[in-house]
């Protein structure tokens, strides 16, 4: 009887605390994204951002974080969920909606980016210079990229380009799939949450992802043969959007808009890039601890991949030029911005 009374009292206290918290907040925002809460970006970037915004608002902004598509839909639906006001904030992979934001693809091109911090800062400046028109229907908090993408295989590591022939590889986006096809693989597009099942059932022979996400999707267990590349440039990266519904932002009082503004832009992009870098180190350490096979291609072999994959970049430039989007200028500016922030 005493235990029941104690349980009832604790439940009542918890409900009272929740009610008090709800009354304390002037605004409650719902944030939706596709990865589980323990994944790198949700745990190490989104949750700290939420805490910072809530603290700086004095508790007047409350943010509810819904991971792993808990509010329904597919990862590719997230951009429309926030645009249409179904949710207030989203974080997603831009490439999950191919053709929707074509100028962002410059950063997905083969051997474009370096480390995730410098490249995320470069992508944020690129957004501010070139992408505000593509994202005019969103209030963008920040954009960023992940660390160097590499290849993970179920049966044997890729040691030369010819090893890709006939292999079914999961890709992240239109551009990355085109690169994999050009290099000889059979590219299969799918969002990262679908990778573990596809690997375990043999639907794919391998996947391209950075070290950062390998623990979350059990890639070090399911595809324990890893191939990295020499030199300072990554095989590829994916681009990410952290955005807010425009009406949600516009309807905030000015002082709460300032809280959001103070947590928007370059410093957020840098922080998300740093979370990716830290996640890469952790993912690599797990693979090393498990004694997985880790192959780093020589500079000569990496150069072969770069030469073949360059066709993807040149085709993209021409496609953008043909659309009147100045692919030539976008490609060069992306290269220049990556070089600028990498040198810093």
pLDDT digits (tens, 9 = 90+) for 292-343: 999 999 999 999 999 999 999 999 999 999 999 999 999 999 999 999 999 9
pLDDT band at 77; cut points 50, 70, 90: very high
**Poorest-pLDDT segment among 17-26, 73-82, 324-333:** 17-26
Q: Does 257 lie in the same domain as 117?
A: yes
Arithmetic mean of pLDDT, 221-250: 98
In the predicted model, is pLDDT for residue 22 greater than 50? no
Question: Residue 17: which pLDDT band, with cuts at 50, 70 and 90?
Answer: very low
Per-residue model confidence as pLDDT tens digits over 185-214: 999 999 999 999 999 999 999 999 999 999
287 part of a folded domain = no
Distance CA 262, CA 139 (A): 14
Same domain, 37 and 154: no
Of the candidates 159, 112, 117, the residue with the CA atom closest to the CA atom of residue 273? 117
pLDDT number for residue 264: 99
Same domain, 136 and 196: no
What does pTM read for this prediction? 0.93
127 lies in some domain: yes
Write down the mean pLDDT value for the chain: 94
Calpha distance 229→55 (Å, rounded): 42
Is 5 domain-assigned? no
Torsion of CA 153, 158, 162, 163, to 10 degrees: -40
Indicate whether 189 belongs to any domain.
yes
Whether residue 122 is contained in a domain is answered as yes
Residue range 86-98, pLDDT digits in tens:
999 999 999 999 9
Q: Which structural domain, as residue segments, surrounds residue 116?
A: 23-147+238-279
8, pLDDT greater than 50: no
* Residue 45, domain CATH: 3.40.190.170
In a domain, 134, yes or no: yes
328 and 231, same domain (yes or no): yes
Question: Region 83-112: what's the mean pLDDT?
Answer: 98
> Is residue 175 situated within a structural domain?
yes
Apex CA 316: angle with CA 243 and CA 203, to 5°? Answer: 75
Q: Confirm whether 288 is domain-assigned.
A: no
Let me know whether 245 and 230 are in one domain: no
pLDDT mean over 18-36: 79
Quote the pLDDT of residue 2.
34
- Same-domain check for residues 141 and 157: no
User: Do 123 and 188 fall into the same domain?
Assistant: no
- Residue-wise pLDDT tens digits, 252-290: 999 999 999 999 999 999 999 999 999 999 999 999 999
Q: Which of 55, 62, 113 is nearest to 240 (CA)?
A: 113
Do 28 and 88 belong together in one domain? Answer: yes
Q: Enter the tokens of residue 218.
A: 């059990």
Q: How many domains does the chain have?
A: 2
| Domain match, 216 and 70 both | no
Same domain, yes or no: 263 and 243? yes
Q: Decide if pLDDT at 13 tops 60.
A: no
Note whether 115 and 29 are same-domain residues: yes
Q: 248 and 127: one domain?
A: yes
């Amino acid at each position: 009887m005493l235990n029941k009374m104690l349980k009832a009292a604790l439940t009542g206290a918890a409900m009272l605390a929740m009610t008090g918290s709800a009354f304390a907040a002037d605004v409650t925002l719902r944030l939706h994204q596709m990865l589980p809460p323990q994944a790198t970006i949700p745990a190490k970037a989104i949750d700290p951002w939420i805490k910072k915004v809530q603290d700086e608002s004095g508790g007047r902004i409350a943010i509810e974080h819904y991971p792993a598509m808990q509010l329904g839909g597919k990862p590719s639906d997230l951009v429309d969920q926030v645009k249409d006001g179904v949710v207030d904030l989203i974080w997603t992979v831009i490439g999950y909606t191919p053709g929707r934001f074509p100028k962002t693809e410059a950063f997905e091109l083969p051997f474009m980016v370096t480390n995730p911090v410098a490249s995320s800062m470069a992508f944020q400046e690129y957004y501010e210079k070139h992408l505000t028109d593509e994202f005019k229907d969103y209030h963008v908090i920040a954009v960023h990229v992940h660390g160097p993408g590499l290849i993970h295989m179920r049966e044997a590591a890729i040691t030369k380009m010819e090893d890709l022939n006939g292999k079914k590889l999961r890709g992240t986006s239109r551009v990355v799939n085109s690169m994999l096809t050009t290099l000889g693989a059979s590219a299969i597009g799918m969002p990262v949450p679908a990778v573990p099942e596809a690997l375990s059932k043999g639907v794919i022979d391998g996947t391209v992802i950075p070290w950062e996400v390998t623990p979350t999707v059990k890639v070090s267990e399911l595809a324990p043969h890893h191939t990295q590349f020499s030199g300072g440039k990554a095989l590829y990266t994916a681009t990410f959007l952290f955005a807010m519904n425009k009406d949600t932002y516009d309807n905030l009082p000015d002082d709460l808009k300032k809280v959001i503004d103070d947590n928007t832009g370059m410093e957020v992009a840098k922080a998300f890039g740093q979370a990716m870098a830290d996640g890469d180190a952790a993912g690599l350490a797990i693979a090393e601890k498990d004694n997985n096979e880790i192959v780093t291609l020589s500079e000569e072999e990496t150069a072969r991949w770069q030469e073949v994959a360059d066709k993807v970049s040149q085709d993209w430039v021409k496609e953008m030029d043909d659309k009147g989007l100045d692919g030539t200028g976008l490609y060069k500016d992306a290269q220049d911005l990556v070089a600028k922030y990498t040198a810093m």
